Amino acid sequence: MKILILEDNPRRIEIFNQMFQDMTVYVTEDTKECINLLKDGKWDALFLDHDLAGTQNVPSGPGTGYEVAFFLKDNPKYAPSLVIVHSHNVKGSTKMLEALSEIDNVYRGWFGTFNRSSIIDHLMGVKSFPETDLKI
């Protein structure tokens, strides 16, 4: 499985790499690179942070995860099978989820509550997540 992660926090990146160590994982903190990677290949899952480059609680716009969400809104053919918005910026992540509302299998997941087996089960088609915020 191929997992693309938009994240800038070194500790979170380490956790993601450990969680998915037996899979193809690519981490970027650059929104333009993330969009180009989505265009260039088929990804099974995408994890999106909102605030990047060490910022916190910034408004949505260029250079934030919202830029990638807005790209997918306009180009849904590039959306992976699973998209998880994992930002703690409530306003930013809500705006991202609104942009992604027409795409299937988009969830909010609070970082630190991810359960690897639930994510894999979802990707394998074994089960779906509840309609409420993702707490996996």
Using one digit for the tens of pLDDT, what is the confidence trace for 71-81? 999 999 999 99
DSSP 89: -
What does the alpha-carbon distance between residue 114 and residue 128 come to, in Å, rounded to a whole number?
14
Percent of the chain with pLDDT over 70: 87
Q: What are the structure tokens assigned to 103, written together?
A: 């795409």
Q: What is the mean pLDDT of the chain?
A: 86
The span from the first CA to the last CA of the chain, in angstroms, equals: 19
The pTM assigned to this predicted structure is 0.87
State pLDDT tens for residues 31-90.
999 999 999 989 999 999 999 987 887 878 899 999 999 999 999 999 999 999 998 898
Q: What are the structure tokens assigned to 44, written together?
A: 């099974």
**2-123: what fold?**
Rossmann fold (3.40.50)
Specify the pLDDT at position 136. Answer: 32
Domain map of the chain by residue range?
A: 2-123
Task: Name 91's Cβ contacts closer than 8 Å, sequence gap at least 6.
Answer: 57, 59, 60
Question: How far lies 104's CA from each of 7, 97, 101, 129, 131, in Å?
Answer: 22, 11, 8, 12, 11
